[in-house]
């Protein structure tokens, strides 16, 4: 194999950090110019001026070329795509589909999980962020929508700072490339507001915002899309129920019976909008003492209570039979203990499942992720976009 072919092959391993596809496939690289003395000149075409991933792209392109035996020096030229090249890239990313098409409609193979709670303060967002990171760490392609428009916290929990280019989406024409944190593609309204500015929107604007998160963001081929819902049973939960027809609900609660009462309502809304209920996660289940005993600060049994009540609703006919759960039993997917490491990691933007994987909370979240990984990604009830020619 010639030196030029070896260099091109090495460049084929370099991914765009935001799009998560090879630069070669995205037509972001010219053919390298290789001199007789082994020096290589490489032109890289960035998507936009001021691309936040430019340093990473340059570093990884250089490393890929330098890894080839026979290369003695490397010169990288960073350029920007022309308008026509950007149009071609957007068309390729959309697979030539028209703009503003929901990629998670009834034909999607992505596991769409709506993670909600009846009330705030139960740790729903911390659980969601860590579940997303755990799934990505297991090799899955994961997206995360922070749909808690008024109380967004996902960017901070994943270390995405909107005062920096790497913490904001990159706009390529009408398409947004979401920032990536710990292997997870993330979008949040918090990426579009400066500082701690509040969001004061009414129903139609809320619906439009969550719709744009689906249609105007390049998600690619995801295995899992997690949606962090706002607490309660308001406009956003209803809108997403309509926009994501294949979604399954996960309800987060605490052991406290009062929290269980309102958590039940959150799951019931999912039933009314057509979502199956995948299960219940009980957070803050206990505090482990130094002697190994457990202190049940918030009581016991709230998670199982919610699961039992939702099971009764399902079996009473509030939900159509689910082929993946013929008994229509709503399980408790896991119990997550109170954890200082989880709280500290959320404050620092360092998910506990990676920063402290042996922490009891991290182990409990990893166990829930394992259950999610076992979900079948079948073709049942999906349309195949093929035609028969005579």
Q: Give per-residue pLDDT as tens, 59-97.
A: 999 999 999 999 999 999 999 999 999 999 998 898 777
Per-residue pLDDT at 349 exceeds 90: yes
Domain contains 104:
no
Co-location of 89 and 119 in the same domain? no
Q: Is residue 19 part of a domain?
A: yes
How many domains does the chain divide into? 2
Q: How far apart are CA 126 and CA 142, in angstroms?
A: 16
Q: What is the CATH number of the domain that holds 187?
A: 3.40.50.300
Provide mean pLDDT across the span 258-276: 76
Do 219 and 318 reside in the same domain of the chain? yes
Q: Is the pLDDT of residue 386 over 80?
A: no
pLDDT tier for residue 273 given thresholds of 50, 70 and 90: confident
Q: What is the CATH number of the domain that holds 40?
A: 3.30.300.130
Range of the domain at 64: 3-93
C-alpha count within 13 angstroms, C-beta hemisphere, residue 88: 9
What pLDDT sits at residue 204?
Answer: 67
Closest CA to 100 of 206, 173, 27: 173
Residue 189 lies in a domain: yes
At residue 312, φ and ψ (nearest 5 deg) are: -65, -40
Is residue 100 assigned to a domain?
A: no
Mean pLDDT of 304-328: 72
Mean pLDDT of the chain: 87
Specify the range with the lowest mean pLDDT, choosing from 51-60, 312-321, 346-355: 312-321
Is 387 inside a domain boundary?
Answer: no
pLDDT of residue 271: 77
Question: Do the domain assignments include residue 384?
Answer: no
- Verify that 190 and 140 share a domain, yes or no: yes
Q: What average pLDDT does this structure show over 366-374?
A: 96
Angle at 213 between CA 45 and CA 88, to 5 degrees: 30
Report the SS3 class of residue 69: coil
pLDDT of residue 321: 41
Co-location of 176 and 116 in the same domain: yes
pLDDT tens per residue across span 106-134: 889 999 999 988 777 889 999 999 999 99
Same domain, 201 and 308: yes
Residue 259 lies in a domain: yes
Write out the DSSP string of 285-341: --EE-TTS-EE-TT-S-HHHHHHHHHHHHIIIIIS--BTTBTT----EEEEE---HH
Residue 176 falls inside a structural domain: yes
Q: Same structural domain for residues 78 and 137?
A: no
Neighbouring-strand partners of residue 76 = 42
Share of the chain above pLDDT 70, in %: 90
**What pLDDT was estimated at residue 206?**
74
Residue 190 has pLDDT above 90, yes or no: no
Residue 119 backbone dihedrals phi, psi, to 5 degrees: -140, 165
Residue 64 sits in the same domain as residue 163? no
- Say whether pLDDT at 3 is over 70: yes
Query: Of 32, 66, 93, which closes a domain?
Result: 93
* Chain centre to alpha carbon of residue 93: 18
- Same domain as 296, residue 187: yes
Q: Are residues 88 and 170 in the same domain?
A: no
Rounded Cα gap, residues 325 and 9, in angstroms:
46
On whether both 215 and 357 belong to a single domain, the answer is yes
Note whether 82 and 117 are same-domain residues: no
* pLDDT tens per residue, range 126-161: 999 999 999 999 999 999 999 987 888 999 999 999
Residue 281 pairs in a beta bridge with 252, 334
Q: Check whether residue 45 and residue 128 sit in a common domain.
A: no
pLDDT value of position 381: 44
């Amino acid at each position: 194999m010639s030196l030029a072919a070896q260099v091109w092959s090495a460049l084929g391993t370099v991914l765009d950090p935001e799009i998560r596809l090879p630069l070669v496939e995205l037509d972001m690289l010219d053919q390298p110019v290789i001199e007789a003395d082994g020096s290589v000149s490489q032109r890289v075409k960035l998507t936009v001026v001021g691309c936040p991933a430019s340093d990473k792209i340059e570093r990884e392109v250089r490393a890929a070329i330098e890894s080839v035996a026979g290369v003695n020096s490397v010169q990288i030229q960073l350029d920007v795509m022309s308008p026509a090249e950007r149009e071609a890239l957007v068309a390729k990313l959309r697979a030539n589909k028209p703009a503003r098409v929901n990629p998670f409609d009834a034909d999607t193979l992505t596991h769409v999980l709506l993670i909600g709670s009846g009330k705030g303060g139960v740790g729903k967002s911390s659980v969601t962020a860590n579940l997303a990171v755990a799934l990505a760490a297991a090799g899955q392609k994961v997206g995360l929508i922070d749909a808690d428009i008024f109380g967004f916290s996902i960017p901070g929990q994943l270390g995405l700072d909107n005062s920096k280019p790497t913490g904001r989406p990159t706009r390529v024409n009408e398409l947004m490339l979401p920032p990536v944190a710990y292997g997870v593609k993330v979008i949040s309204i918090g990426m579009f507001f400066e500082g701690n500015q509040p969001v004061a929107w009414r129903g139609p604007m809320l619906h439009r915002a969550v719709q744009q998160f689906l249609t105007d963001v390049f998600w690619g081929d995801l295995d899992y899309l997690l949606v962090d819902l706002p607490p309660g049973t308001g406009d956003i939960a209803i809108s997403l129920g309509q926009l994501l027809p294949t979604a399954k609900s996960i309800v987060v609660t605490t052991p406290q019976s009062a929290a269980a009462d309102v958590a039940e309502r959150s799951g019931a809304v999912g039933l009314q909008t057509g979502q199956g209920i995948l299960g219940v996660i009980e957070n803050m289940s206990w505090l482990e003492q130094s002697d190994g005993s457990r202190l049940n600060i918030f009581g016991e049994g709230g998670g199982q209570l919610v699961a039992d009540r939702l099971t009764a609703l399902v079996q009473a006919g509030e939900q159509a039979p689910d082929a993946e759960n013929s008994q229509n039993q709503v399980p408790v997917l896991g119990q997550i203990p109170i954890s200082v490491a989880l709280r500290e990691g959320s404050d620092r933007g360092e998910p506990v499942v990676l920063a402290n994987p042996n922490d009891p909370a991290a182990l409990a979240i990893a166990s829930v992720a394992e259950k999610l990984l076992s979900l079948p990604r079948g073709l049942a009830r999906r349309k195949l976009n093929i035609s028969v020619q005579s």
